[in-house]
Amino acid sequence: MNKNYIGGKWVAAHTGATFPCVNPATEEVLAELPNSDGVDVDRAVQAAAAAFDSWRKFPAPKRGEILFEAGRLLKERKEQLARRMTEEMGKVLAEARGDVQEAIDMTFYVAGEGRRLVGQVRPSELPNKACFVTRDPIGVVAAITPWNFPMAIPSWKLMPALVAGNSVVFKPASDTPLSACALVEILEEAGIPPGVLNLVHGSGAVAGHALATHPTISLVSFTGSTEAGRQIGMDGARDLKRVSLELGGKNAIIVLADADLDLALDGILWSAFGTSGQRCTAASRVIVEHSAEEPLLERLIPRTRQLRLGNGLEATTDVGPLINQARREAVHAYVGVGQAEGARLATGGSPWGDRGWFYQPTIFTAVRPDARIAQEEIFGPVISVIPAASIEQAVAINNHTPYGLSTSIYTRDVDKAFRALRDITTGVVYVNAGTIGAEVHLPFGGTRGTGNGHREGGDTALDVFTEWKTCYVDYSGQLQRAQMAEQPSTAGEEPMTRE
């Protein structure tokens, strides 16, 4: 529809203003979208608030059935959704298919929670009294999502929020609005009632800020930059909103001397240059033991030079474009920073092509652990190779960044693998695999500047989108004062025996 979706209707921004959605590989304008402001956001929030009470009372298994139908439609339309995603975001088609598949998996997984929404039953310390704990929806949820996974990440937020009984206002990134429209159309077709799910397009600075600060919003679930997340956290604190933040990463692959270097090579190439390095889990550091550094680089540099850049719809393409011109300029600026810091540019380091926002896969060697390119998130196809004398030093280097999302270690030594699992302080750790590849039934998130402690995915996602309610039922027929009631005495009784 390429419009906002408010109260069950597809509508333009109230001012009529629009912004273009541009193909980053060709610079072709694909569509015009509503450039919404606070008035549009308020209308969406009010629609969500009006729908909340009836939706929270709608049986959870029936909410799950709607999501099952949405999952079926996503699966049925996977190829067309993936192709449209490649057009608007740039990632190669195989990766776009994976993005849609993750949304399918998450939708089916969360739909099953409609028949669980697991609570707790606990014994009471008093006689003739029952105790149990249930989940309540929070209210109106703001879901603000990034452009790098325009179908998967929204599914991480929308599906658990909806199955738990919340109503939602969804603001996708302005670089990838068409995937968001397609996802909302599918949920509408699957049977989501009017007002339960609303979609508002626009910039983060205007529409996103208006949504995050709206007094009726009870929870903001945000994935994006650490800077934006910090501001949302401060804004939410003023209104005592619940805020769930999934932010940046400075992820590392540790390669020990005993590693299978060919296996490590494949993991590095996929983790560093998949999605053109535009993943929060992208490997932007390779920490390698001294004796393995030269043989690893002898493999890594020529393989990197062989990667083929181009339109993600072409079967020969290995690496697509960056999302926009500003992102390419930011990546190139970091290459200049690395050179100024004294790192050696081993390959890449320049924009590529006459059309589109491409950047060469880039490798720096001889990088200091405290260098800016080793500490700051670049969000592009740039990796820093950092030597280490031992596993202890490698783990220390890995942990010493402002972020803590994902780490990988390659080793054949099971003892070293388990020491790394114990000592690495990131939220996700892989052994003999790359830094990317979340599975929907497991928690996903990080430490330090990567977020504020919440996790997406798995049953832990329900903790973000629900409130715990503790319920007591006293059927004793008399007033019982917990902790003050006189306890039954067992003095003088015969000890219990088992026949």
Structural domain for 280, as ranges? 251-440
Q: Judge if 214 and 260 occupy the same domain.
A: no
pLDDT at residue 499, rounded to an integer? 44
Q: Which of 246, 293, 377, 456 is catalytic?
A: 246
Is 293 one of the catalytic residues?
no
Q: What is the mean pLDDT of residues 315-340?
A: 98
- CA 413 → CA 58, 404, 418, 420, 424, distances in Å? 53, 24, 9, 11, 16
Sequence-separated (6 or more) residues with CB below 8 Å from residue 2: 31, 32, 33, 177, 178, 181
Q: Quick one: pLDDT band at residue 487, thresholds 50, 70, 90?
A: low
- CA 496 → CA 213, 417, 486, 488, distances in Å? 61, 49, 22, 15
Residue 498 has pLDDT above 50, yes or no: no
Q: Judge if 343 and 265 occupy the same domain.
A: yes
- Assess if residue 353 is contained within a domain: yes
Write down the mean pLDDT value for the chain: 96
Q: Judge if 108 and 257 occupy the same domain.
A: no
Q: What is the mean pLDDT of residues 12-17?
A: 98
- Assess if residue 491 is contained within a domain: no
Q: Quick one: pLDDT band at residue 415, thresholds 50, 70, 90?
A: very high
Q: Judge if 336 and 304 occupy the same domain.
A: yes
Tell me how far apart the alpha carbons of residues 152 and 140 are, in angstroms, rounded to a whole number.
21
Q: How many domains does the chain have?
A: 2
Residue 160 has pLDDT above 50, yes or no: yes
Three-class SS of residue 348?
A: coil
Q: What is the mean pLDDT of residues 60-65?
A: 98
- Assess if residue 493 is contained within a domain: no
Contact 420/391 with Cβ under 8 angstroms? yes
Alpha helices in 191-289 (DSSP H): 209-212, 226-238, 261-273
Residue 494 has pLDDT above 80, yes or no: no
Q: At what angle do helices 261-273 and 290-306 cross, to 10 degrees?
A: 50
What percentage of the chain reaches a pLDDT higher than 90?
95
Q: Judge if 191 and 179 occupy the same domain.
A: yes
Q: Quick one: pLDDT band at residue 176, thresholds 50, 70, 90?
A: very high
Query: Residue 395 is inside which H or E element, if any?
Result: helix 391-399
CATH number (domain holding residue 392): 3.40.309.10
- Assess if residue 487 is contained within a domain: no
Residue 367 has pLDDT above 80, yes or no: yes
Tell me how far apart the alpha carbons of residues 267 and 401 are, in angstroms, rounded to a whole number.
21
Q: Judge if 213 and 262 occupy the same domain.
A: no
Residue 175 has pLDDT above 50, yes or no: yes
Q: Quick one: pLDDT band at residue 189, thresholds 50, 70, 90?
A: very high
Q: Which of 280, 289, 377, 456 is catalytic?
A: 280
Query: Residue 462 is inside which H or E element, if any?
Result: helix 461-465
Q: Judge if 318 and 376 occupy the same domain.
A: yes
Q: Which residues pair with 197 in a beta bridge?
A: 168
Q: Judge if 220 and 265 occupy the same domain.
A: no
Q: What is the mean pLDDT of residues 474-496?
A: 72
Tell me how far apart the alpha carbons of residues 181 and 186 are, in angstroms, rounded to a whole number.
9
Q: What is the mean pLDDT of residues 139-167?
A: 98
Looking from the CA of 138 toward its CB, the CA atoms found within 13 Å total 24
- Assess if residue 238 is contained within a domain: yes
pLDDT at residue 364, rounded to an integer? 98
Tell me how far apart the alpha carbons of residues 488 and 126 are, in angstroms, rounded to a whole number.
10
The last residue of a domain, from among 440, 459, 486: 440
Q: Judge if 413 and 276 occupy the same domain.
A: yes
- CA 324 → CA 26, 150, 252, 283, 383, distances in Å? 11, 15, 25, 21, 20
Is 21 one of the catalytic residues?
no
Tell me how far apart the alpha carbons of residues 286 and 363 are, in angstroms, rounded to a whole number.
10
CATH number (domain holding residue 30): 3.40.605.10
- Assess if residue 490 is contained within a domain: no
Q: Judge if 255 and 239 occupy the same domain.
A: no
pLDDT at residue 474, rounded to an integer? 97
Q: Judge if 88 and 196 occupy the same domain.
A: yes
Q: What is the mean pLDDT of residues 134-157?
A: 98
Q: Judge if 149 and 269 occupy the same domain.
A: no
pLDDT tens for 219-275 read 999 999 999 999 999 999 999 999 999 999 999 999 999 999 999 999 999 999 999
Q: What is the mean pLDDT of residues 326-330?
A: 98
- Assess if residue 226 is contained within a domain: yes
Q: Quick one: pLDDT band at residue 482, thresholds 50, 70, 90?
A: confident
- Assess if residue 163 is contained within a domain: yes
